[in-house]
Structures are given as C-alpha cells and as structure tokens.
Structure 1
Amino acid sequence: MNITVYLGSRCGNRSCYADYAYALGSWIARHGHTLVYGGSRTGLMGELADGALQAGGQVIGVEPQFFMDEELQHEGLTKLIVTPDMTSRKQQMMDLGDIFLAFPGGIGTLEEISQVMSQVKLHQMKGRFAFLDFDGYYQPMKALLQQMSDEGFVDKDWADAVPFLPSFAALTAFVLGRDLPKSGETWRHFKNHMYRILDLADDAETGETYVVYKTLYGEYRDFIRPLEMFLSEVDHDKYPDVRQKWRFEKTAGLCSWNPAISSQYLKK
C-alpha cells in the first residue's frame, strides 16, 4: 500500500516532532508499505524519509524542478519524480497514494490535505485520509470542522467521521480499517485463556502497537501486528504447521504475539 504523507519542511520548535516523523517513516516501512512524500531532505520531511529508508522501506519522493534547482532533494530515495511545478507535484502525490496522512506542518501541508479532503468528499478520487494528531497538534482543525458543521457548511456526520489519530496504535487500526481492542475488554491469550486489557500503547523504540494485560503471574504485553506480516517472519522450514500450532489472537487481519515466547518460531 502507498501511504502519502504531508508534513513540514521545517522541524518546528519542539524536538518531539522530528522524533515522531522518523518513527512514522519507520512504522510505514516495518509494516510493508511504501512511503510517498515531497522528496526533500529538509525538516520533518527528511526525518520521515530517513526513518523509512533506515528501516529498509521503499520511498518515493515527488519534487518540483525549482526545489531541485535549490538542491533540496533527498539523495537516497528509492525513486525521485521531478515535476515542472507545485500543481503537478500535488497531483502526482495524489495519483500515487492509497492513504493520505497529514502530519504536523504549515501552510503547504494544510493546502495539500485540504485538496485531498475536498476531492475525496466529492468522490473525485479514491483513498482515505486522516490527521496525525500527535500531541494534539490538529485539535484546532478538529474544532474548525465542528464549527463548519455547527454553522451548516458541512454535514455533521461527515465532520464527525474525519479521523484524528493520536498514536501509532490508532494509525494501525485506521490503515487496517478496523477498531483496535480497548482498555477493559478481554484479550484471548495462549491456550484460550481470557485476560483483561489494561492499556493499549506504542513501543517508543519501534512504534509497534501492543496491549498490556494482567494475569496471576504479573503484568505482560503482547504486540499487535498484521497476521500476514507475522507469518512472513516465521521459519516455515522449521515450523511448517505453525498456523495449527501457534495460538494467536486473530481478528480482522491482526494477531498478537509475545516476543519472549514466540522468538523460537522466527527466522534467525
């Protein structure tokens, strides 16, 4: 799947945005998607691309010629597409994408995601969009959409349905088109034991989503990953019947796995 990300060419005033951008690139690569972005090496754009590339992912950059003239392009991309101007750049990024994400950024970011929102709403293009609302950055946008709805300029159902994703856990659910389990729900673990979920969070180092649950023996956490991704990492020569022997939670294409228990199944 191609994920088009719009974000700032500056890093912003807080270092957390650069950390989030790098982690987002890594998340896209680790989940087997291709990153599509504006092609630059500067600001959050460079952090995003570096995160994806260093995790072994595919990155397509789309850069207008006048940015190329200023030598702003990232040199290590999988593919760099050069367009004559900004208008054709935006169209190319929309043509390439399956999912469109607005990361924190400035006027250009707002312009790009607004065009996507408008065309999707008018059924002029396929795909889904969301705002990556890290640290509440896009809460003013959410309030503005609600104001538009209250004043009768957009339908309330449409405004309420615009996704604002505060975490990689929420992003995982959005990309897969489902809701992740929630705190307080039960979670089926090994040997069909049911445990109560205490929390849902993201691993700080990898960005992988995990559930926290409690048993009589203590508190544990299981990572949640797309089932096919997990199975692609299994050593099938050693464990050809892993689908029968491996007791995982499977719901709409997700599975849970505990690294401490499952490492014997994985390729070395």
Structure 2
Amino acid sequence: MNQEQVDIKTPEFVSLQFQSAGLGSRTAAFIIDQLILMTVNVIIIIGLGLVLYGFDDLFYLADEFMSYPIAITLIVLFLLNWGYFFVLEYFSGGKTIGKRVVGIRVIQENGHSLTILSSFIRNLVRIIDSLPANYLVGMLMIFFHPKNKRIGDLVAGTIVVHERKTKKKSRLSAIEKEIERRGLSKDDVEIEEWAFRSLGAKEWNLVKTYSHRLLQLPKDERVQLTNKMAEILLPKIGIEIEGKEASELENALLTLYLFLKEEWEFEL
C-alpha cells in the first residue's frame, strides 16, 4: 500500500505533517526486531541448558520441560519478548532497533511523543494483532487502514510514521553558525528524561521560532524575547532562570533548540 501523508492538528493548534509507515517498512522493522529477539532467546535457552544439565544432556532438555527452572525461563522469555517493544518504544522516542534501522517511529495521534500508557496499551494489544499466526490480523489492518494502523495503534491512539532527519546543508544557517561560534552542544545541559518528554510540538515551534528570530532583533527586543521564552520553557526542564544574565538564558534556549531539533525536525 502506498505511503499516505498524515496531517496532524496538535492540541496547541499546530499543524504537523508526517508520512505514515506502510506495511513494507513496518514488516522490515519487525523482522529485524524478531531476529534480535530470536538470537537472545536462543542464547538464553542454550545457556540455561548448559547451566542445568551440562553439554552432554543439553539435547534432552525437552524431557524436563515442566520443571520449575524451565517454567521460570519461559516466563522470562515472554516478558523479554513483550517488554522489548514496550521499553524501547517508550525510552527511545518510539523506536525499537528495527524501527531505527528502517527510519520509522511511533508517535501519538496528537503529534506528541509516546506516553508510558500508550506504549503499554499498543504493545499489550500486540497479542491480538499476532493472531491467528504470523501477525496476520495486524498485517491486514495495516494494509487496509487509511493511516496504516494495526489494532494496537487504534486502541492506544498511536501512529507509525517515517522519520527522515533534515539533510545537512553545505552551508550552515545563521543560527547554526551562531551556535557553533558559541561552542554550544547538547552536552552543556542535562535534561531528565521525564522533563524532556513533557516537551512537545508547541515547545518545539516556540524554540525554533525564537532561535531563527534571535539574531534579527535589536538588543532590547532580543533581551525581552529571551526573558519571555525563558520563563515559558526553561522551568519545564528544571532550569532556574532567577539571577541569570540574558546571555546565559540565550545559551540555555539555544541548547534546548539542539535537543528538540533532533526529536522534532523531519524531512518528509
């Protein structure tokens, strides 16, 4: 099925455009993830056999299938195979290893990053999507749904989209030159994961507009805009603004721009 462009209106009335990920790209990502999980599963099973029975009796492991160690191992494997998607999608910006390789990610329908609840729900419903075998239900849903959603996406209110970072330009923009001149980088500020996830499309558009207007303003207007943006954005990531000079606040906002640019700027 052809990729569809998806227009998303955020709660902040910001319009975002994404390219929905179709069956082909999602299948490719899933195969990569399954190969990784299969490798880990085999290593765990073989390791268990060697520890419990030794090399000579490894091939008789099936005879002891109902023993407590095997039952515990099966539970661990189930949690690993389910938790892999849940944990990575939430803590890695909607991307498992397979999704990262293919260049797709999961986001909420409102354009925000996944919440822990939406990640939990979409992966819990993965059990239904996998029925009756080989993810037949999920594949049929993705193929026929106009936004390429499986049941888990419908229930959790999520969508899988293509992610393409903006191509590097041969010439840096004015703000990029300024950031480079100041020697700023993402390492200059530590942002907690919970704080970073509280920022969405609204904050990205604010900091992007601020950054690109900054150098065009007279000094007085520049200081006023910096103070206003700092009051809105910096407390959300745990940065105190009291007692800081305008130049320090500018640097903090430009560093935040670097963080959000990596998360929100796409080429569609």
Higher RCO (C-alpha under 8 Å, 6+ residues apart): 2
TM tier, shorter chain?
under 0.3
TM-score (norm 2): 0.26
Q: Looking at CA atoms only, which structure, 1 or 2, has the larger radius of gyration?
A: 2
TM-score calculated relative to the size of structure 1:
0.26
Q: Which has the higher strand share?
A: 1
